[in-house]
Homo-oligomer: A and B are copies of this chain.
Amino acid sequence: MSLEITFLGTGSAFPTPARGASALVLRREGQCWLFDCGEGTQTQLMRSHLRAARITKIFITHLHGDHFFGLPGLLCTLSLQSDPDGSKAPVDIYGPLGLRSFLWRSLELSHSQLLFPYTVHELVPTQDQCPAEEFKDFSGWDRGEALPQGPPGRVLHLDPGEDSYLLVEDEQLVVRAFRLFHRVPSFGFVMEEKPRPGKLNVQKLKDLGVQPGPLYGRLKSGTAVVLEDGATVSPWDVLDAPVPGRKVCVLGDCSGPLGDTALRLCWQADLLVHEATLGDSQQDKARQHGHSTPGMAAQLARRCRARRLVLTHFSQRYRPAGHAGHAGHGHAELSELQRQAEAVLDGQEVTLAEDFMTIEIPLKK
C-alpha cells in the first residue's frame, strides 16, 4: 500500500513563484490528506500530479494567513469541479478554534454553496502555546452563524491524560495532534498506521496439520480454529510477528513542542516534517518569532529517533535551485542549512523540501 508525501508549498510568510505558501499532501490508498492550505494551494495542486478531488481530510496547523488563506478558494473550486450528483466525498477539516467561523463567513459573503458536505472540527488550544500577549480567544466567534452543510463538527479539547488530541481512528490508522509553541497556538499531527498482522507461516501450518483453505483465512484474520482431530490452533501459533505500521509526523510552525509528548508520539517516525525558517546563525531571531533553525529541528528528530527528517517552511531568501532570482546565493545557503541539520544527526541524511517534491514511505517488512 503506497504512502507518499508531496510538498506543494515550502516557503514561509507568503507565496512566491519559487516557493508556495505552506501546503503538503499525504497520499495513501488514493486518498489525499492536505496539511495546511496557504494562498495558491489550489493552483499548486493543478501543477502537481495530484488530483484535488481526492482530498478527504484537511489539517490546519495554526492560524497564520500563509497556512490557511487558500482554504475558502480551494473548497469553492472543489465544489465547482465536483459532479452535481453529490458524488464528491465529504471533507473533514481539522484546525484551531476560529477556523469554522472564518470559513463560514468567507463562503457566506462570497455566495458560495458547496456541493459536497464538509465538517470543521476545531482544536481548542491552551494558553501556554504562545506568548501570553498574543493569545486570542475565538470562542463565540461563530455565534449566530448557521451550520455548514454536513454533520456538526467536533470541538476537540486536549486529553489531559494523553496530553494530545485524538482526531481520527479507524481499523487501519490513528491521527493525533499535539501542542507546539509558536507566536500563535500551533499543532503537530501524527498519522500512524496500526500494525498489520504477520504473514501466515506455511511451514508451521503444515507441521500442525492445517489444510490450505478457509481455515487459513480465519487464522490470518485472528480467529482460532479447531481441526478435525479436535486440536485447537491459535493465530499466535502460525502467524509471523505483526508488521509495524508507518508513522508520518507533520509539525506546524514552532520554536519547539510543549513538554515531552511530541517525543513519545513521534518516536521512531518514518518521516518527520519540521520547519526551519532561518539558519542556525539566526537562532535568536528564529526563537523570537516562534520559529526553528535546522539545528533545532534536528535536535528534535534526534531525540525521537526519527528515521528521516525533512525540513521545510524556509524563509523566501532561500531560493531553490533554478530560482536564484535577486538573491543569487540561495543555493549555497540551502546547502548550509542541510549541513547544520546533518551535523546534529551525526551525518544522517536530511532532506530540504522543494515545491512538488514527492517522498515515498515504503511499507515495512
- A80: Cβ under 8 A from any B Cβ: yes
The 0/1 profile, CB within 8 Å of B marked 1, for residues 55-89 of chain A is: 00000000111101110110011001000000000
Judging by beta carbons under 8 Å apart, are A65 and B76 in contact?
A: yes
Assembled-state Cα–Cα distance A106/B105 (Å): 10
> Which B residues touch A66, using CB under 8 A?
73, 76
| In the complex with contacts A109-B102, A110-B69, A17-B39 CB distance below 8 A | no
| Copies of this chain held together in the complex | 2
> Which B residues touch A304, using CB under 8 A?
none
Please report which residues of chain A, range 154-206, place their CB below 8 angstroms from some CB of chain B when the two chains form the complex.
183-184
Interface positions of A (Cβ within 8 A of B) = 13-17, 21, 39-40, 42-43, 46-47, 63-66, 68-70, 72-73, 76-77, 80, 98-99, 101-102, 105-106, 108-112, 134, 136, 138, 141, 183-184
Whole-angstrom distance between the Cβ of A242 and the nearest chain B Cβ: 44
Contact of A13 among B17, B80, B105 (CB under 8 A): B80
Whole-angstrom distance between the Cβ of A88 and the nearest chain B Cβ: 16
Assembled-state Cα–Cα distance A138/B105 (Å): 11
Given contacts A40-B40, A64-B110, A65-B76, 18 further A-B contacts (CB under 8 A): A13-B80, A14-B73, A14-B76, A15-B43, A17-B43, A17-B46, A21-B73, A39-B40, A63-B109, A65-B106, A65-B110, A66-B73, A66-B76, A69-B110, A98-B109, A102-B106, A106-B106, A109-B138
Question: Considering only CB atoms, which chain B residue lies closest to A184 in the complex?
Answer: B111
Contact of A16 among B43, B68, B111 (CB under 8 A): B43
Question: Considering only CB atoms, which chain B residue lies closest to A21 in the complex?
Answer: B73
> Which B residues touch A101, using CB under 8 A?
105, 109
Assembled-state Cα–Cα distance A106/B66 (Å): 12
Judging by beta carbons under 8 Å apart, are A106 and B47 in contact?
A: no
> Which B residues touch A15, using CB under 8 A?
40, 42-43, 73
Whole-angstrom distance between the Cβ of A68 and the nearest chain B Cβ: 7
| In the complex with contacts A39-B42, A134-B111, A72-B65 CB distance below 8 A | yes
> Which B residues touch A65, using CB under 8 A?
72-73, 76, 106, 110, 112
Assembled-state Cα–Cα distance A73/B9 (Å): 15
Question: Considering only CB atoms, which chain B residue lies closest to A108 in the complex?
Answer: B136
Whole-angstrom distance between the Cβ of A353 and the nearest chain B Cβ: 18
Question: Considering only CB atoms, which chain B residue lies closest to A96 in the complex?
Answer: B109
Whole-angstrom distance between the Cβ of A79 and the nearest chain B Cβ: 10
Question: Considering only CB atoms, which chain B residue lies closest to A70 in the complex?
Answer: B39
Assembled-state Cα–Cα distance A158/B14 (Å): 37
| In the complex with contacts A47-B17, A105-B102, A110-B40 CB distance below 8 A | no
